[in-house]
Every structure is written in C-alpha cells, then in structure tokens.
Amino acid sequence: MATATYTVEGMTCGHCVSSVEEELSDVAGVTNVDVDLATGQVTVTSSEPVDDTAVRAAVAEAGYTLRD
C-alpha cells in the first residue's frame, strides 16, 4: 500500500471536496481519498504508487490545480 499527500488549490466548499474525491477515486489503483478543505491537503492511498501525472490530471478534471 502506498500513501501520498498533495496540496490542491482553489477548493472553497464541500462540493469542491466531492469533485476532487470523485475524480481521484477514478485513478487506477486508488483505494481511498481524504480531502481536508481547510488546508487543501489531499491524501491518496493506493495499492501501488500512483503516477503524479495521473493525479494532476484528475485534479485538473475536477477544476483545480496541484500546488508544486
């Protein structure tokens, strides 16, 4: 099992959190997504390390960006 933490910019409400969780849950191998709206931190748990490019694309699909 692998865990990675990212910071997502632009989330302002519960709907934002749901959108990010939904898109990240569709990334291959992801088993859990935990989003903290207050800090913008997103913890992704997966069966194996997830490609950062896939995470970035999923967050972009939800309408937000990852902080570098």
pLDDT tens per residue, range 53-66 = 999 999 999 999 99
The CB-based long-range contact list for 14-23 (8 Å cut-off, 24+ gap) reads 16/62, 16/63, 16/64, 19/62, 19/63, 19/64, 20/59, 20/62, 20/64, 22/62, 23/58, 23/59, 23/61, 23/62
Based on the structure, what is the number of domains in the chain? Answer: 1
| pLDDT tens-place string over residues 19-43 | 999 999 999 999 999 999 999 999 9
Report the predicted TM-score, pTM, of the whole model to 2 decimal places.
Answer: 0.93
Residues of the domain holding 15: 2-66
Query: Domain containing 25 — which CATH number?
Result: 3.30.70.100
